[in-house]
Amino acid sequence: MSRSLVVMVILVGAISGCQALPVPLVEPIGPTASPPSDPVTTDVAPRDTPPSVPSRSSVEPQAREHLSQYLAVTDAITSRGGQNPEEMTDLVTPEWQVEERRGFAEFERQGIRTLGRTTHHHLVVQSVRALASGELEVAVFSCVDTRSVWVVPSDTPDPPDGLEQWLDEGSPALADGEDFPDAWQDYIQTASPRPGGIDPVLFWFRGPTERALMLDFTDTWRGHHPCSEE
């Protein structure tokens, strides 16, 4: 994969008037098997899981926390037009940091930034296993929701009072004829923002313990998923 998938979800789903970069559909790297067709009901935990490997249920709270933090930092960096990507350093592996920087560089190159907050739902820990290095690998499915994320030109003035709070609280998708205050309507007409959508994403985390996980890889989920049910 040539770009950070979550960053590219924002770009592909929300940019209008410029060429969107493709999100490649690739096979997961490493020895991890291809994911099952149903992220909600299928148990893919290895049958020979050694006792030292934590269960999927015990890892889920930490996985949820790590993913939420990763998305929050992604939003912070894209809100600045991709500047200061080093804030991601403690959340991703050195190998994946390279991909993150490439994704954020697109915001600087295209002169765009974001407003709003990315959320996720329907999180399922797919598998937990021990690597030869002694680290844990945790595979997580979740629906990444960027419907309340707007992409606007970087030189667009700051939004009027209340608009960012409305987005952060989980606004509905932008619709024609929305009953906004006049100041909001003027801003929307000037910035021409476009909201994102909902995307099924696989996340691979690894680390010495479940409390010290770092994002190592992302991929698009290609099987059945519950994201479209929202």
Domains of the chain: 5-26+53-223 (3.10.450)
The percent of residues above 90 in pLDDT, for the chain, comes to: 60
Q: Which of 6-10, 64-68, 156-160, 164-168 has the lowest mean pLDDT?
A: 6-10
Whether residue 103 has pLDDT greater than 60: yes
Whether residue 114 has pLDDT greater than 80: yes
Can you list the alpha helix ranges (DSSP code H) found in 54-162?
56-79, 94-110
Residue 154 CB burial class (10 angstroms; 0-12, 13-18, ≥19):
middle
pLDDT tens across 189-207, in order? 999 998 888 999 999 999 9
Q: What pLDDT, on a 0 to 100 scale, did the predictor assign at position 9?
A: 62
Select the more confidently predicted residue: 109 or 30: 109
Q: Which of 4-8, 19-23, 153-157, 226-230 has the lowest mean pLDDT?
A: 19-23
Q: Annotate 23-34 with DSSP letters as a single string.
A: ----PPSTTPPP
Distance CA 183, CA 169 (A): 19
Mean pLDDT of 172-199: 81
Q: Mean pLDDT, the chain, as a whole number? A: 81
Q: What pLDDT, on a 0 to 100 scale, did the predictor assign at position 224?
A: 87
Distance CA 33, CA 46 (A): 10
Select the more confidently predicted residue: 26 or 172: 172
Whether residue 41 has pLDDT greater than 50: no
Q: What pLDDT, on a 0 to 100 scale, did the predictor assign at position 34?
A: 43
Selection from 146, 129, 162 nearest residue 199 by Cα: 146
Contacting residues for 212 by C-beta, under 8 A, at least 6 apart: none
Q: What pLDDT, on a 0 to 100 scale, did the predictor assign at position 170?
A: 77
Q: Which of 41-45, 76-80, 99-103, 141-145 has the lowest mean pLDDT?
A: 41-45
Mean pLDDT of 170-182: 67
pLDDT tens across 122-158, in order? 999 999 999 999 999 999 999 999 988 999 999 999 9
Mean pLDDT of 109-132: 95
Helix (H, G, I), strand (E, B) or coil at 183: helix
Whether residue 80 has pLDDT greater than 70: yes
Supply the Cα-derived Rg of the chain in whole angstroms.
18
Q: What pLDDT, on a 0 to 100 scale, did the predictor assign at position 173?
A: 56
